[in-house]
Structure 1
């Protein structure tokens, strides 16, 4: 017979799945950055500055981490109006992040660093592009939460989805910070 304490100490299956997914994503990006380090040692490697707009995108994603944190707090406080606003702002900041990244790609291309121009530029496009896709996946989840907030009564709505989404969002935020530091130091 399972006691109530044993039941309370179990991790929700969605949270467990998210941790497994984050571990897998981490391994993928470790593989990407390891390959970057290995290829960087080759004689034909071209070092270049990252587009300045990548720093703007960093500010946006850091701000979005704050807004999703606040959204989760508002949800738990049963303040659905603020929750909806904060989820919307978080999603918009995530989209803003992706737009800034794409502008950064355009800037790279305008400076002769197209996807197929150099190995170093190709790595940036692939790694940052993979990160953008993960952010956009998070934006989709945020929009689902937003629409659920309008159709679901607060009494029947579990906090697990916002907790899972928040964990993932902080993860992609931290992943971007890692990538930005990595690219800044590994030029």
Structure 2
């Protein structure tokens, strides 16, 4: 008896992620671990007893607003790319990049405010932590601005559109992460000073 079973052997697609996106997520996880360790160290050091609270610079508030606004414009650029509205992508990416650079300038101004309040990297542990938090975040934000510029150039070369979303998608993920990280640090410092 010859039985013929007609089965279509459709390959099962494994769950996968673009290798660059996977590398980005590994990088983000490592940054989370660094800042989790640092905020834990802050709490432990604060309980030592030789802690002197520091008043946060007023510019931190403005910097936070600037960074949240940049997250909004980054999202606008991403949505515009999905809809092939390339002019809006260019405008939103340009604004996001300008806001990112403005935040970095604002952080430099904040360090000036800290110095004017006689808060320096060495001396009071609270001041040292503020410099380390903002400096390390600023370093990562510089990498984010570089990423924004790369996407901005790609946008002007018409390489960012609905059929080519990986680059802007990764940039949006990283930028939103950096914005969220700053909001976390700012709230942490507000609640723990």
Give the TM-score normalised by structure 1: 0.92
SS class of match (2:23): helix
User: 2:31 & 2:184 partners in 1: Cα distance?
Assistant: 13
Is 1:83 equivalent to 2:97 in the alignment? no
Structure 1 residue ranges (4+ consecutive) displaced by more than 6 angstroms after TM superposition: none
**Deviation at residue 164 of structure 1 after TM alignment:** 0.5
**Deviation at residue 154 of structure 1 after TM alignment:** 5.7
Among 148, 151, 155, the residue aligned to 2:154: 148
**Deviation at residue 100 of structure 1 after TM alignment:** 1.2
Q: CA RMSD in A?
A: 1.8
Is 1:6 equivalent to 2:10 in the alignment? no
- Decide whether aligned partners of structure 1 residues 97 and 2 sit closer, same or farther in structure 2, where only a CA change above 3 A counts: farther
SS class of match (1:6): coil
Q: Give 1:101's aligned residue.
A: 107
Give the TM-score normalised by structure 2: 0.89
Among 129, 138, 143, the residue aligned to 1:137: 143
User: 1:47 & 1:119 partners in 2: Cα distance?
Assistant: 9
SS class of match (2:54): coil
Q: Is the 8 A contact 2:82 2:162 kept in 1?
A: no
Among 19, 22, 25, the residue aligned to 2:28: 22
Flag the structure with higher helix content.
1
Q: Is the 8 A contact 2:59 2:110 kept in 1?
A: yes
Is 1:68 equivalent to 2:62 in the alignment? no
Could you say which structure has the larger radius of gyration? 2
- Decide whether aligned partners of structure 1 residues 153 and 145 sit closer, same or farther in structure 2, where only a CA change above 3 A counts: closer
Runs (5+) with no aligned partner, structure 1 = none
Query: Which deviates further from its counterpart, 40-49 or 134-143?
Result: 40-49
User: 2:161 & 2:175 partners in 1: Cα distance?
Assistant: 25
Q: Give 2:50's aligned residue.
A: 44
Q: Give 2:98's aligned residue.
A: 92
**Deviation at residue 96 of structure 1 after TM alignment:** 1.0
User: 1:109 & 1:2 partners in 2: Cα distance?
Assistant: 66
Among 181, 184, 187, the residue aligned to 2:190: 184
